[in-house]
Structure 1
């Protein structure tokens, strides 16, 4: 978040210099990844339907690759620095999504009335892509393109300033937002235009001369104006009347920000917001924000003058090793922020989370997963982190009783620590399969035999086994532990019924693409929670049934929910603008919170392994390890919508007199209905996408058959899948 009105002021005063891009040739350019990613997202602003389909922006990859091509053509060597942990807050987090939820409901009312322009307007003012959800994907793309990146311990700005001012000249210039001028830096590049071959830059010296302020006074000015870490000074924050000049005048009158704040200390607005304390904490945080040094240590900026109580405004210090894994993308900040802040804010999903099923899943299954994640994070950390963690839900008001994340009594972190190399060699077996890295089916097959499973159990009292030396061994052990945590592997190290069904299924579907592995994992988790069923949820958004036949309705509901666990394949140039389904979006919301929970849990498993010296760390490529983490992608509802459109058209016309469609005709009508724009956005033909959806449906059906044979699921659920599969057989492509 930029300093309020600072950009307007610099534009008004003509303090922005535009220079030819050739001036940056052959330099190492440090880039604030969050500022740059905001630009990328704004370029993909045409994806206005994203709030209605869920998932990640389909045009993001192409937009990123286009930017990278621009840097390469200009002979600029970028280093992207993304923000890490958030600074601690003293005020209790309270989630109020009422305004957003009203706008989302208005958007769906407009969709149902056929007024798409009105719907898109409501969505645009109620939905902003949450950048932290995308950073791990962006890092993966940068890795694929051999572009340097890192995560800062805290704010990217402080890290960039350190890198530029370092005597080793790690970077030569910085591309960031104008708020970077709050730090000790000479100039900031605020934009680059590859089309015009120019860049814009602001000189801090010129800005200070124009304002007639010292460096310290300018910092106070920015804090009082308001930015990411601090609200605008309340007495001057009235919407519509705030002006940058009013803060400037106040500062010139009182000479320092602290004097100005103290002068208003008795103001009800200042007292209510605890602004005096907030100002002081923010000022210290800006002067002494921790950075990762080129020697691998984390220390405050201006360390010689840093106060002893820095933890009061930054938070308790983590081991340097943890900050290093954060910098490489092995672990992301949401998992650590929960532990550091002691709270979780749960915002409403895109569907508004009105179903009992979503809220129940969130407050039971997801909460247990979070408890496991936190327990694993704390294993090798100081006891100061053994603290209570509160959870605040959007559907409760501020006076609701506090929810505390309670430890799962059935889970002990040491229960997944009794692993050693077994009879079978993961390196040898993997080489024989021709796979690049292990997946769930491979890890489960390695221990499917009782003797093989027994050989992986570390005997009681035995010394610590030799550390895992290769990336493949680490990846295999990591997936194995995750599978054990989620109940796919028993304490005997043999696959459970759920683990066995994965092995059995992929022995049948030997050519199934790798993307089916994560999707099947999600499907089985949802089967276990009885959320992947043909039954409607408590809040059904389809007011009038499309089909009168209940057998067909139930089958279509189950098949489309299953298909929507896969991401549709997009070209990444144009975005989806076709039909929508709020009922599928409600299911997608469950999928989304499950995917994130599993990703955070898998990160905690890996961090516990690394901190526990289970791996030979000097041999590992941590960027490659980060890029191979599971559950990186959140699917949208698009593939489910395509399957739904096709099956409903085929069924409706099969019931009409003398108007029966064949499969190809039904596909043609689907193409006409979704429109030319959406059709051209897909990387595959509609037929190919439907084939993917039905292929995955067959995989899930075979997995459910295996579970039914082991009596691991209810007879009712097994029967529902069987009936849906029988109905679908003649309609599949």
Structure 2
């Protein structure tokens, strides 16, 4: 609902009900910021990146702009605290989510059709209409980046706006930056933005809005809700393109009914009437974390007894605390409380069979395990209730996830309580930021591995710091995923993964810790995709045929390019902090969406292992709050790659399949890439490590045909790269200005 929230700001600016002052006005204050409204503002204003939904990942200039904002706050003497949204309120319903996702999907499909017609500038504009769609991973990345910069963050139990209004009322903060939702929860005033380059602050007093619209606060609330500018989705009658007129149209609609909102909504078909009143009750009895740490609705003593009808099902306060510190994201918790997983269309805007099969079938065991792990410490109501899976292409059909079929989801975790003393005795190399290779290497020696079999002793608390928590979470996760045996030695998959990690180390140049983490996680993701039957060279997206696949050479050449570039989807492109300009590929994006869904499911499982460990009481409960966020931020699979590296690999290998005299350098096609040659070498090293792991795998987990496929691609790649280094290769070639296919 970020675009509709922006509609309110557009109206306020257009109608000149805003006030402008300087940042010094807020000197020596603590300002609470609605983090997701802040993110959406970055995505759709200023130096926005309209091609984000065509690339996946996160915006290239996002972190720079966030850092500039942090510096601005610091220079102005402002102490910011960013509050993220928690669980969905009951008024966030299935129908509105599907309606919004279909609209975004249709817009993206149209953008790809325009792009395929060669109308690059028009395609950019069309892509930009959906730049806030599917931003869950960007929210998570922003959360941990802010934490790394020493900025205070928290996640609200439900709506961030409700938490901010409570914090303002109890004087924990001095002002609020956010959207119209903050006004509806009672802040009275709200800051829209700090415009550091203009040395100005744009803010709004709700009294100006009431005067401009000639309404009272209750009527104003109703206008904001039905126009989609609050916590409720847009009334379908008001689905118009002009953002600023949605507020006016909503007022006219209500005025025609003498501002009787109940009468207006009863005249409409569907469930919107019920959703509206759920939203009104959620505004009246907002759920917040109180100063003492309790999670409860405000004014609950005079509230109705069926609060779950407008808030949602209740979770233990302890779990809300782990949510507030970022240990758990809201996604799995939403699945559990809503009893439903709702799949929406991927970014490619298409209808690919591999993606459908992945989310409907292949990821079910992963998700069922994540939900079951979290539910293990909840009351029996949750343990006896399964979760339904519902997909956008067949919304009337649901299938059970299978959580109730898992008898003991935490069984593998019960032997992992490795404390600091034992951790310091283990060999296998120093810990790396992502922990994956460290976790595998420390168990490579069977005698060392068996030392880590550490059942809980007499209900004692054994884990006390970040290193303890992080190592045990990752080991439990790897054990759960089948990389470790019950005695903690490496399984066949674990040995193959270790071979891949070892090969990566042998080819590593003086890499930064970030690059090391990136490659470790990419290798791990490759093995997960291989196990799901998704890492191969087959044509996955023939109907409709997605553009941007390999176009040069023989069918065999194209098949090899397909496989190598899919591996490159798992790495990151080093790009300047500016919007992307260059070729696009719907084919690669469709594959990327499969990797992103898998990555998200694995991260969810990691988080639930962390929650399961914390809820079971094996961790010291007197840890500093920041320790929990430190652990969450240091666990693997936080950031999602874009397809930039895969595009460079695909274009480069395409050119190598041209006759010598027709080859051109690709550097001109990617004007803002920082180090194309360095990134290509990274991609080759990544490929080599994954192939080494495939070849080292036992035949009972990776069959001979797969090994031959990877080996053939490896031989082909080496031959092409040797040719590239010749006198007629492309490595040092000069572009002839060819930029076909750029946007």
With structure 1 as the length reference, what TM-score do the two structures score?
0.88
Distance 1:430 1:514 in 2: 21
Q: Could you say if the C-alpha distance between residues 429 and 436 of structure 1 is closer, same or farther in structure 2, counting changes exceeding 3 Å?
A: farther
Task: Pick which of 123-132 and 622-631 moved more.
Answer: 123-132
The match for 2:710 is 721
Q: Could you say if the C-alpha distance between residues 219 and 449 of structure 1 is closer, same or farther in structure 2, counting changes exceeding 3 Å?
A: same
Aligned partners of 1:423 and 1:452 also within 8 Å: no
The match for 1:282 is 279
Task: Pick which of 141-150 and 97-106 moved more.
Answer: 97-106
Q: Deviations over 1:48-85 (max 9, x none)?
A: 32222222111111111111121112121111111111
SS of residue matched to 1:307: coil
Q: Could you say if the C-alpha distance between residues 362 and 253 of structure 1 is closer, same or farther in structure 2, counting changes exceeding 3 Å?
A: closer
Distance 2:535 2:67 in 1: 36
Structural mapping, 1:409-448, within 5 Å: 409=405, 412-421=408-417, 427-428=423-424, 433-435=429-431, 439-448=435-444
Q: Could you say if the C-alpha distance between residues 245 and 289 of structure 1 is closer, same or farther in structure 2, counting changes exceeding 3 Å?
A: same
The match for 1:227 is 229
* 1:357 pairs with 2:354: yes
SS of residue matched to 1:597: helix
Q: Could you say if the C-alpha distance between residues 643 and 88 of structure 1 is closer, same or farther in structure 2, counting changes exceeding 3 Å?
A: same
Distance 1:467 1:414 in 2: 18
* 1:682 pairs with 2:673: yes
Q: Deviations over 1:236-265 (max 9, x none)?
A: 88998977567657878988x6xx244457
Distance 2:713 2:110 in 1: 34
Q: Could you say if the C-alpha distance between residues 83 and 549 of structure 1 is closer, same or farther in structure 2, counting changes exceeding 3 Å?
A: same
- Count of aligned positions: 704
Aligned partners of 1:430 and 1:438 also within 8 Å: no
Distance 1:37 1:127 in 2: 11
Of residues 17, 21, 40, the one that matches 1:15 is 17
The match for 1:474 is 469
Q: Could you say if the C-alpha distance between residues 304 and 221 of structure 1 is closer, same or farther in structure 2, counting changes exceeding 3 Å?
A: farther
Q: Structure 2: which 5+ runs fail to align?
A: 509-515, 726-743
Of residues 314, 320, 337, the one that matches 1:340 is 337
The match for 1:391 is 389
Q: Deviations over 1:474-496 (max 9, x none)?
A: 11110011111111112332211
The match for 1:639 is 645
Aligned partners of 1:423 and 1:456 also within 8 Å: no
- C-alpha deviation, 1:596, in angstroms: 0.7
Q: Could you say if the C-alpha distance between residues 481 and 243 of structure 1 is closer, same or farther in structure 2, counting changes exceeding 3 Å?
A: closer
Aligned partners of 1:95 and 1:393 also within 8 Å: no
- C-alpha deviation, 1:178, in angstroms: 3.2
The match for 1:531 is 534
The match for 1:119 is 123
SS of residue matched to 2:659: helix
Q: Structure 1: which 5+ runs fail to align?
A: 661-665
Of residues 557, 561, 577, the one that matches 1:552 is 557
Structural mapping, 1:242-281, within 5 Å: 244=247, 260-264=260-264, 267=267, 269=268, 272-281=269-278
SS of residue matched to 1:28: strand
Aligned partners of 2:433 and 2:517 also within 8 Å: no
- C-alpha deviation, 1:448, in angstroms: 2.8
The match for 1:315 is 312
The match for 2:35 is 33
Distance 2:280 2:492 in 1: 56
Aligned partners of 1:584 and 1:640 also within 8 Å: yes
Distance 1:305 1:567 in 2: 53
SS of residue matched to 2:197: coil
The match for 2:65 is 63
With structure 2 as the length reference, what TM-score do the two structures score?
0.87
SS of residue matched to 1:729: helix
* 1:648 pairs with 2:638: no
Q: Could you say if the C-alpha distance between residues 433 and 124 of structure 1 is closer, same or farther in structure 2, counting changes exceeding 3 Å?
A: same
SS of residue matched to 2:81: strand
- C-alpha deviation, 1:543, in angstroms: 9.3
- C-alpha deviation, 1:712, in angstroms: 1.8
- C-alpha deviation, 1:276, in angstroms: 4.2
Distance 1:106 1:405 in 2: 33
- C-alpha deviation, 1:727, in angstroms: 1.4
Aligned partners of 1:164 and 1:171 also within 8 Å: yes
